[in-house]
Structure 1
Amino acid sequence: MFSGIQGLLNRSKKLKGSVVLMHKNVLDINAIKSAKSATGILRGAAGVVSDLVGNSVDTLTCCVGRSVALWLISATAADGNGHGKVGKKTYLEGIITSIPTLGAGQCAFDIHFEWDSDMGIPGAFLIQNHMQLEFFLVSLTLEDIPNHGTMHFSCNSWLYNYKNYEKDRIFFANETYIPSETPGPLVSYREAELQTLRGNGTGKRKECDRIYDYDVYNDLGKPDSSENLARPVLGGSVTYAYPRRGRTGRKPTKKDPNSEKPSDNFYVPRDENFGHLKSSDFLTYGVKAVSRNFLPLLRSSFDLNFTPNEFDSFEDVRNLCEGGVKLHTDLLCKISPLPVLKEIFRTDGESVLKFSVPHVIRVSKSAWMTDEEFAREMIAGVNPCLITCLKEFPPQSNLDPSIYGDQSSKITKQHLEINLEGFTVDKAIEGKRLFILDHHDVFMPFLTRLNELKTTKAYATRTILFLKDDGTLKPLVIELSLPNSVEQRRGSISKVILPANLGVESTIWLLAKAHVIVNDSCYHQLISHWLNTHAVIEPFVISTNRNLSVLHPIYKLLFPHYRDTMNINALARESLINAEGVIEQSFLGGKYAMEISSAAYKNWVFPDQALPTDLIKRGMAIKDSSSPNGLRLVIKDYPYAVDGLEIWNAIETWVREYVLLYYVTDDAVKKDIELEAWWKEVVEKGHGDLKDKAWWPKLHTREELIRSCSTIIWIASAFHAAVNFGQYPYGGFILNRPTLSRRLIPEKGTPEYEEMAKNPQKAYLRTITPKYQALVDLSVIEILSRHASDEVYLGQRDNPNWTSDSRAIEAFKKFGKRLEEIETKISERNHDPNLKNRTGPAELPYTLLLPTSETGLTFRGIPNSISI
């Protein structure tokens, strides 16, 4: 009898656990805005955040009590319907203060589950929040599970009151299963959670929703405000092809039923919008504050003539960071209640706005003017991914001649051979010594409309360069082309400008270089940066969450590389790429900026985004099995390519080791139903305007899966870092990377020509970005070039328990060690005097692909994701 009673007692066991939560308002922008000291002086953001964290923890511990209920679900024992058995409801208990791993603003609670022996091993849990306020659920850890040990559940999700959900929220243990290997009792839960994340495709999304769905870019314009602010819908048509963005379901505008009405609060799935938690929110709120508050105030200052809109000299431009910009006191008083702006711009005194010193002029103030630096930045600047090896002469256009006429280059061999150091053009091409930065086809179709704008006068440019014996590039010629509009003739009218060091010809050469850089700045921002990273990755984010369970190995592989991307993209649609947004105000494309981006997307090819493929396609590398990376670079000292190939190979090696853990054969890839659905949606919905392209991988083999995942990770991490975090270091000095051109090259006999001859600086400044637009540009790119204090870098995870698979963890550690070795090698290369392109005349080492970084404007660091 005693043994029977003892047996009954042993059947029930208390499983001890700890739940980590975080309160909503750890970093609330409204709290920051209103927080002032007793003397009325705004405190630093860090101090405000510290106070808020303490208050939020106190509030949370008072409120939780029995307001949060959990149920464990078995992964090994099923009920009569085949679903995992659900344990008894339990509640959070007392607060734990002894967990050393708690992050800022986090607090932990004890919890005990009643768990009978016949319930098996837990694999998931349900949770209900009975409070009115949402909170952030960080994790659940269970201890001493019989026949298992410790179990981790990484949650990282917002929980609203349970009445907001049709089904109770569910979280799975950090196990990894392809669909066919999922424990039977968890299969239905796995499928149901994915269905919840897909939603039904109808209705306006609410803040608490976690639904991922697709839509076109139909929210950039404001047709109800003005006809001039209407913008075409991007995506869903042959004319305006584009990747898809996250669906919000807002109402259409009154004047255009195909356009969605913009609003101040853009929906993104709740867990994509960390909101008031992360220090990176401080940066994104900074962008909002600049767009909504600072820029309108600044505009009014210029409208009231408080500040002249023209720079008077190059020294005047340098004063943006060395002495500051004098603004009217009334403007500074209006800015002063906005600590985000004061933190970013570091206002000194009552009438000065002062920026950071851009890296490109920290050592030399004039190196930016040299031909050597102009050329070096094509391979080690902020847009080092466009230069190509010249394969034919003269350069040809791919524009349709039936529409645009003959767009062939007017550059002759004689133009080149003047400075070709004894080579003929044919010999230089044969020896792979000629290169071209070709912006002609991108801008020519838009030039007529662009040059009709009041503030724009631009060319479509081609620049040809020569590879010297010392490994550096020398510009040989710049071609500036305009559409031929005389008597409705087609084709182009071109100026061919040669290098010059003296007299008015040297000023013309400097202006020609400025027009090239204006083309390049626009191409970089709209295509290399926005389109080829932010926009093209969002469909992968959406499809991954809709089709790959959190239990799926590929979900676990890719998830860190999606962090904050939908959030920052929504912010961009709200403030940066929208009608009259920052890009339209301060870059060449103006109101046609996103149309230029759309036109470029038609030529986007997913497999070509892999760095080795890209380099080969541009003629910058040749396959060579004897080389360490399997490629031989045509320019040996090509900093972006040299560093990038090492990062690429580390990524691909890690992905290969990881994928092969779960897919032993190609057949296993083919039979993975979630993987099939994921890729089908990426191609047919996310990138639906290109769905019929033959270049899409089929994803039927392990190699296709490895290459595709490596490419996604490369785009979201290293490639984005290479084209983003150099924006302010190079472009913060507007003379080095102007974003607008307002005058064409003056013709002899005109007053502008005489001015150019007498005052070259004034001619240059009247051609490029004026003061107001420069301040708009600098205000934003300084924020976008910064790292947040909670950034997670390539080779790192924000949770060491992201998987229970020790094999995967070991492979990931090897990845991290490879990146550490690469970082050392990059630093060594930057100190090698024989590698002249590593630093150049500006004495600015190429550090953008160093994997790690500190907080702030560091000009280095590869975050895991497109998070800013």
Structure 2
Amino acid sequence: MGNILTKVMKALKKGKKSRGTENGAGMKNNTTVTKVIKGTVILMKKNVLDLNDFTAAVADGIDELLGKKVSIQLVSSSVNGGAGDQLPPPPPSSGNVLKGKIGSPAFLENWTTKTTTLTTGESAFDVTFDWDEDIGIPGAFIIRNLHHNEFYLKTLTLEHVPGHNRIHFTCNSWVYPAEKYQTDRIFFSNQAYLPKDTPAALQWYREQELVTLRGDGSGERKEWDRVYDYDYYNDLGDPEKGSDYARPVLGGSVEYPYPRRGRTGRPTSKDSKSESRLPLLLSLNIYVPRDERFGHLKMSDFLGYGLKSVSQLIVPEIQGQLDSTPSEFDSFEDILKIYEGGIKIPQQITKNISAEFIKALLPMDGEGLLKYPMPVVIKEDKTAWRTDEEFAREMLAGANPVIISGLQEFPPRSKLNPEIYGKQDSTITREQVENMLDGLTVDKAMETNRLFILDHHDSLMPYVRRINATSTKIYATRTLLFLQEDGTLKPLAIELSLPNPNGDEFGAVSKVYTPGGNGVEGSLWQLAKTYVAVNDSGVHQLISHWLHTHAVIEPIVIATNRQLSVVHPIHKLLHPHFRDTMTINALARQTLTNAGGFIESTVFPGKYAMEMSAVLYKDWVFPEHALPADLIKRGMAVEDPNARHGLRLLIQDYPFAVDGLEIWSAIKTWVEDYCKYYYRSDEMIQEDEELQSWWKEVREEGHGDKKDEPWWPKMQSRQELIDSCTIIIWLSSALHAAVNFGQYPYAGFLPNRPTLSRRLIPEPGTPEYDELKTDPDKVLLKTVPPQLQMLLGISLIEILSRHASDEVYLGQRDHEWTNDVNALEAFERFGKKLAEIEGKIVELNNNPGLKNRSGSVKVPYTLLFPTGEVGLSGKGIPNSISI
């Protein structure tokens, strides 16, 4: 059909006279010499990206027959072209605005006959411009798409431009039919400009483009819109389905402060507070600005692993199964079968669940067997995960290595309000732990920085009573650890605490467990470690991962696009670190963190999950998320001018911190070199209107519930800019990599990091206690998630732990991004430094004296290895939060 269309069009075009000058191209007067500038456009047609969209190809062909084309007009960066009529006129108060002269339209050539000649559906088109020599150098171009369908514009390159030779425009943007836009689409060359240095002829275009991106704050956003705006998290609940699906609005209140998310403008539900939700079949079409959406390769990967099905399908089809008597794994050997040979899902689990869901979400083979990739935590040794050594090691090198802290006082004290929660201080005594301190007293061990704590008490205790009123049963926990001479940690005691049954104000009811040998004491200790792992898994997913990377970065993405022009140096610095973040967050709110969604169904806080993250956001302090500041705050390092990076780690073999400080330092050096090239003084920072507007909006809009906090950098100096950009890049790249891509390696075998517990620890005299004596593994398996929930949880983290096929890693760019040689040289140094760090990480992992690098499970720490591999590689730092 495509060949027939091409032949028809060629026939219809025969005999037509040349259109070389019918639109004014090539015209000249007595004093102006017109030059021909050759250009090349790289784009991807919609019908190439969507092979099923034959309609798009036909429509485009008809458009060409009717004379509707893709036109491009160059905009001068050096000559005032008058008021012009190509963009909306300036506001009346603006006076006589300088605007670069706009050249005659030129059209892409051979649209319908051009075959795909480049990779991944890209096509190259020639375009010829007639350009008056006396109007200077092109600095931007306007493009109009008069087809019926959008296309993805990658680049325009001009060759042999008089007085300048080559000019490159990196676009990477969807261009919809012109009728969809209120203003023309304009793209600027790769040259970076501070606002004050912008050529006068381009200044108006620069400002108007930002006005377009901000929008007017009204209306429901459409697919083709490019508007970045803020909203509260009022899109989690679904009150239309009943009160069980109502959730509080997060953001805009003292009770539930929260970072802002991207506004969609969808109408509200019947409660007038919650935004209406998209139907299931449209869940992937939730609005984000079009250029923020996944590229076609990423979307293909994403759908290929089934997240399309992780949605309201969980409710009610699955929820009924989770609430009934669940099917259990009878032994750890049964769990291992899902990796080694596959298992059939019992019929009583699947009978009420659609076959489409099972097929899409769960990895079934041709014989109906369920099989998952082998998690590396059990690849070399099937039992080492149960050891005390591995339990403690994962606090330093596992999926959540950002919570452990140095013990500052004994017994640990609570910061919860005693008027509300009564006495919450720890009940761990010296007598319970001093026999395990290698002859030291508690005070001496603290003085020599050898006592540490994994504290999940204060963050969870306010929710324990409510959570335990559901089918989930948890404790607030404290875990004490001792640093041994060989650099490893030894667990000393675990405290399990419940609210007093007589009321919160009466304080906690706590019990302390210490390492036991064989028999019931050893089994109780294993169960106590399981409750700690449950807490750490939930806090990891909701706080370390979601809140501290995904949620806090999204409003910075929005502010950057609203206030910093694409030609601003800081926009060019930060933009790669925002790729896909708004999309993955929007999809998470639609399918994972929503009422009844995947997180609520598989992670212990249940319906209180996002509410709890809002309460803990109260403690978020932007400057404290610089890695050195974080390590110092947690008592894991002290300042030392003689130590590497100015910090002395109190646990020398702390893989996350050791590798993290190398990456942090490399990022900071790169940011410092880059920022100091563009800003030669603090005064230049203060005088940059776009930069000041950006930082003001980050504070007062994006993180508006914290706008009055005194800790915000004032953005009055180069150092404040360097520090702030370094933190943003660290959170978006390395920190997210450290807390995301270790999920399947460690929690793919869910007993190692269970996400919820279903019953409390057995008490003497009960049947459960007697069972603990005879079959402790069965008791543990009845405590952690049942079969279906475990399988769903594993499926989710397999999706979230994969590197996409189009991943761009730290120190890399996938396109030309600037003309500034100094910036390019600094970026090249950054890449070389990261390569050096890779080599160091390999050396450290091969050092047998560093026992925390691999542990008894023999899993080398590679989560902060800069470059990665597609799939479940467990290594690589993507530029951005893209999954």
TM-score after normalising by structure 2? 0.91
Please report how far the alpha carbon of residue 94 of structure 1 lies from its aligned counterpart in structure 2 after TM superposition.
3.0
CA contact (8 A) 1:218 1:232 kept: yes
Output the CA distance in 2 between the equivalents of 1:19 and 1:245: 34
Q: 1:142 to 1:755 in 2, by over 3 A?
A: same
Output the CA distance in 2 between the equivalents of 1:580 and 1:296: 6
Output the CA distance in 2 between the equivalents of 1:6 and 1:598: 64
Match of 2:338 in 1: 320
CA RMSD, Structure 1 to Structure 2 (Å):
2.6
Output the CA distance in 2 between the equivalents of 1:101 and 1:669: 45
1:173-220: CA deviation from partner (whole Å, max 9, x where unpaired): 001001010000000000000000000001111111000000000010
Match of 1:46 in 2: none
Instruction: Map 1:564-575; keep pairs closer than 5 Å.
Output: 564-575=580-591
Q: 1:89 to 1:493 in 2, by over 3 A?
A: same
Q: Which moved more, 1:76-85 or 1:811-820?
A: 76-85
Match of 2:277 in 1: 262
Q: Does 1:67 align with 2:69?
A: yes
Please report how far the alpha carbon of residue 311 of structure 1 lies from its aligned counterpart in structure 2 after TM superposition.
1.1
**Which of the numbers 738, 757, 760 marks the counterpart of 1:722?**
738
Counterpart amino acid of residue 288 in structure 2: V
CA contact (8 A) 1:176 1:805 kept: yes
Match of 1:438 in 2: 455
Q: Which moved more, 1:214-223 or 1:318-327?
A: 318-327
Match of 2:391 in 1: 374
Q: 1:291 to 1:645 in 2, by over 3 A?
A: same
Please report how far the alpha carbon of residue 119 of structure 1 lies from its aligned counterpart in structure 2 after TM superposition.
1.5
1:207-265: CA deviation from partner (whole Å, max 9, x where unpaired): 110000000000100111110110000000000010000001111111x1111111133
Q: Does 1:383 align with 2:420?
A: no
Instruction: Map 1:209-288; keep pairs closer than 5 Å.
Output: 209-254=225-270, 256-263=271-278, 264=283, 265-274=285-294, 277-283=296-302, 286-288=305-307
Q: 1:293 to 1:700 in 2, by over 3 A?
A: closer
Please report how far the alpha carbon of residue 743 of structure 1 lies from its aligned counterpart in structure 2 after TM superposition.
1.0
Match of 1:456 in 2: 472
Question: Percent of pairs identical after alignment?
Answer: 56
**Which of the numbers 851, 858, 864 marks the counterpart of 1:843?**
858
Match of 2:182 in 1: 166
Please report how far the alpha carbon of residue 854 of structure 1 lies from its aligned counterpart in structure 2 after TM superposition.
1.4
Q: Which moved more, 1:241-250 or 1:17-26?
A: 17-26
Output the CA distance in 2 between the equivalents of 1:258 and 1:700: 39
Match of 1:34 in 2: none
CA contact (8 A) 2:74 2:138 kept: yes
Please report how far the alpha carbon of residue 812 of structure 1 lies from its aligned counterpart in structure 2 after TM superposition.
0.5
CA contact (8 A) 2:556 2:698 kept: yes
Q: 1:514 to 1:288 in 2, by over 3 A?
A: same
Output the CA distance in 1 between the equivalents of 2:873 and 2:420: 46
Output the CA distance in 1 between the equivalents of 2:728 and 2:117: 31
* SS, match of residue 674 in structure 1: helix
Match of 1:47 in 2: none
Counterpart amino acid of residue 23 in structure 1: K
Match of 1:527 in 2: 543
Output the CA distance in 2 between the equivalents of 1:668 and 1:274: 36
Counterpart amino acid of residue 156 in structure 1: N
**Which of the numbers 838, 842, 847 marks the counterpart of 1:827?**
842
Match of 1:428 in 2: 445
CA contact (8 A) 2:314 2:596 kept: no
Q: Does 1:853 align with 2:868?
A: yes
Please report how far the alpha carbon of residue 327 of structure 1 lies from its aligned counterpart in structure 2 after TM superposition.
2.7
Match of 2:43 in 1: 21
Please report how far the alpha carbon of residue 287 of structure 1 lies from its aligned counterpart in structure 2 after TM superposition.
4.8
Q: Does 1:807 align with 2:829?
A: no
1:319-372: CA deviation from partner (whole Å, max 9, x where unpaired): 22122231368969998878x966x85422332121111110000000010000
1:87-130: CA deviation from partner (whole Å, max 9, x where unpaired): 00111013699999943111010001110011100000111111
* SS, match of residue 152 in structure 1: strand
Output the CA distance in 1 between the equivalents of 2:63 and 2:622: 49
Counterpart amino acid of residue 641 in structure 1: A
Q: Does 1:416 align with 2:438?
A: no
CA contact (8 A) 1:95 1:108 kept: no
Output the CA distance in 1 between the equivalents of 2:351 and 2:100: 62
Counterpart amino acid of residue 341 in structure 2: G
Output the CA distance in 2 between the equivalents of 1:548 and 1:487: 52
Match of 1:310 in 2: 328
Q: Which moved more, 1:350-359 or 1:389-398?
A: 350-359
**Which of the numbers 298, 307, 318 marks the counterpart of 1:299?**
318
Output the CA distance in 2 between the equivalents of 1:266 and 1:288: 14
The count of residues paired between Structure 1 and Structure 2 equals 835
Counterpart amino acid of residue 813 in structure 2: R
CA contact (8 A) 2:157 2:169 kept: yes
Instruction: Map 1:461-610; keep pairs closer than 5 Å.
Output: 461-486=477-502, 489-610=505-626
Q: 1:313 to 1:63 in 2, by over 3 A?
A: farther
Output the CA distance in 2 between the equivalents of 1:220 and 1:863: 28
1:793-835: CA deviation from partner (whole Å, max 9, x where unpaired): 0000010x20011111111011001000100110110000000
Q: 1:473 to 1:808 in 2, by over 3 A?
A: same
Counterpart amino acid of residue 415 in structure 1: Q
CA contact (8 A) 2:32 2:134 kept: no
Counterpart amino acid of residue 404 in structure 1: Y
Unaligned ranges ≥5, structure 1:
32-51
Output the CA distance in 1 between the equivalents of 2:723 and 2:676: 13
Match of 2:99 in 1: 83
1:411-444: CA deviation from partner (whole Å, max 9, x where unpaired): 1111110211111000000000000000001100
CA contact (8 A) 1:71 1:87 kept: yes
Match of 1:40 in 2: none
Please report how far the alpha carbon of residue 79 of structure 1 lies from its aligned counterpart in structure 2 after TM superposition.
2.1
TM-score after normalising by structure 1? 0.92
Counterpart amino acid of residue 33 in structure 2: R
Output the CA distance in 2 between the equivalents of 1:744 and 1:61: 68
CA contact (8 A) 1:27 1:279 kept: no
**Which of the numbers 196, 201, 214 marks the counterpart of 2:217?**
201
Output the CA distance in 1 between the equivalents of 2:881 and 2:306: 15
1:425-479: CA deviation from partner (whole Å, max 9, x where unpaired): 00000000000000001100001100001x2111000000000000000000000
Counterpart amino acid of residue 288 in structure 1: L
Match of 1:396 in 2: 413
* SS, match of residue 441 in structure 1: coil
CA contact (8 A) 1:328 1:351 kept: no
Output the CA distance in 2 between the equivalents of 1:335 and 1:816: 49
Q: Which moved more, 1:290-299 or 1:314-323?
A: 290-299
Q: 1:10 to 1:797 in 2, by over 3 A?
A: same
CA contact (8 A) 1:289 1:341 kept: no
Q: 1:558 to 1:636 in 2, by over 3 A?
A: same
Match of 2:679 in 1: 663
Output the CA distance in 2 between the equivalents of 1:722 and 1:549: 31
CA contact (8 A) 1:96 1:108 kept: no
Q: 1:795 to 1:99 in 2, by over 3 A?
A: farther
Match of 1:45 in 2: none
Please report how far the alpha carbon of residue 24 of structure 1 lies from its aligned counterpart in structure 2 after TM superposition.
2.5
Output the CA distance in 2 between the equivalents of 1:627 and 1:788: 38
**Which of the numbers 742, 750, 753 marks the counterpart of 1:734?**
750
Output the CA distance in 2 between the equivalents of 1:685 and 1:459: 37
Output the CA distance in 1 between the equivalents of 2:211 and 2:497: 53
